[in-house]
Structure 1
Amino acid sequence: MYLTPQNILLAGATGLTGEHLLDRLLNEPTVNRVLAPTRRPLAQHARLENPVGELAGLLPQLTGPVDIAFCCLGTTIKQAGSQEAFRAIDHDLAVAFALRARELGARHLLVISAIDADPASSVFYSRVKGELELALREQNWPQLTLARPSILIGNRSEPRLAEQIAAPLSRLIPGKYHGIEACHLAWALWRLALEEGNGVRVVESDELRKLGR
């Protein structure tokens, strides 16, 4: 367990899981500083630094030190507008964020990937997430945690129709395909961040649900 105050870098703080995670971090006595770049301003907090703008442009301006980095970036093809735009966010921007976090001194990176992420998948979404995981592995992080949640359950500021339809059904599916509450995922990520270790850890949705309860 980390006993010294931690400096956190968080991407995706305005998203469904990111909002819950930010709240968790700002209420943790072991967290010294949360650096959370966003496109729109966040509520002010004594331990929060909130650069505002497009993340790609903000990355070079971010300053350390950073101990732990969380990547909660994620969109949909519909929201992004095309497969290429989706990949630019869920793969390219996430990889760039991870590289910058490492430059700022982060030792542990935790990333929200997706269930069935596989670079060889015939499903575009799963393939992009798998390619993201592969790219992050190649960065040789001292500690890399890849979280693979199933369908996220929670109230988004911008509802996703597919999730609204699938979420109730996902509660009935057993095992790792059972839906997971975004607040539980956020809590699981924080618990995983406190685990000291080395190398890569893949955490499937059923384990994330257990950790988040």
Structure 2
Amino acid sequence: MKTAIVFGSTGLIGGHLVNQLIQDNYYNKIKIFVRSQTSINNEKVEVINIDFNNLGNHKTEITGDDCFFCIGTTKQNSPDQNDYQKVELDIPKEIAKIAKANSVKSFIFVSSIYANPNSSGNYVKFKGLVEEELKILNFPKLGILRPSFLMGKRKENRVGEKIGILTFRILSPLLFGPIKKMRPINSENVAKAMIKIAKENLQKITFESDEILKL
């Protein structure tokens, strides 16, 4: 029986992920790290309140078999550049280092379509830099997922993203070849793929959005 570690359990993907992990008999314990109270209540779930400004204080708690990381933010929610960098770059890198030091066997990371450490845009640049760090850490198993526009019910209203999703859903039948990965993807399917990557030996590290859907 395995222990899952989840960062981002209250998000669009994370909510589906925790629900699926609860139903999966492969895991007998799920450790979720949250900043505030959560409504999740299940005998398999251990809720750990975490201070992301002092992650070193939680080194003894970030232990288990498979670490699932799906924390993310937006410029709207984190308008300060330093805060934005902390969420998108610094926190995932530090958590990954702690997990590796604690012999966590796998790290499954939700990145972004077109993640690139050399990009001029901070969002895809930070995702790309985290990907590079994860590869350097050399986990026994590493999964990097690069979903396109995420479909699902969000807590906050993102008008621009909704317009983008609608546009690409209309254009989806026309997206083939290299741009097929731009098709919108359901957040529930991303969560399913994360678990499959952790449980199976797929001989692959990075999964583009269309490859996530195939999983």
TM over 0.5: yes
Structure 1 counterpart SS, 2:76 = helix
The CA deviation at 1:29 is 0.8
The CA deviation at 1:161 is 2.6
Alignment of 1:1-213 (within 5 A): 5-42=1-38, 43-57=40-54, 60-61=57-58, 62-63=60-61, 65-171=63-169, 172-173=171-172, 174=175, 175-196=180-201, 201-211=205-215
CA shift in 2, pair 1:28/1:56, >3 Å: farther
How many positions carry a matched residue from both structures?
Answer: 206
* 1: CA distance, partners of 2:88 / 2:122: 12
Moved more, 152-161 or 90-99: 152-161
Percent of aligned pairs sharing the same letter: 29
CA shift in 2, pair 1:162/1:30, >3 Å: same
The CA deviation at 1:150 is 0.4
| Contact 1:7–1:33 (Cα < 8 Å) also in 2 | yes
CA shift in 2, pair 1:184/1:151, >3 Å: same
TM-score (norm: length of structure 1): 0.90
* 2: CA distance, partners of 1:162 / 1:82: 20
* 2: CA distance, partners of 1:72 / 1:91: 12
In the TM superposition, what whole-angstrom CA distance separates every residue of 1:142-179 from its partner, at most 9, and x where no partner exists? Answer: 21111000011111112223222211112233210001
| Contact 2:111–2:127 (Cα < 8 Å) also in 1 | yes
CA shift in 2, pair 1:18/1:99, >3 Å: same
Query: What is the Cα-based RMSD across aligned positions, in Å?
Result: 1.7
Give ranges in structure 2 of 5+ residues lacking alignment: none
* 1: CA distance, partners of 2:24 / 2:63: 18
* 1: CA distance, partners of 2:138 / 2:20: 28
TM-score (norm: length of structure 2): 0.89
The CA deviation at 1:32 is 1.2
Q: Which amino acid aligns with 2:54?
A: G
Q: Which amino acid aligns with 1:137?
A: K
* 2: CA distance, partners of 1:44 / 1:59: 27
Structure 1 counterpart SS, 2:33 = coil
Moved more, 107-116 or 47-56: 47-56
CA shift in 2, pair 1:191/1:160, >3 Å: same
The CA deviation at 1:100 is 1.9
Moved more, 103-112 or 67-76: 103-112
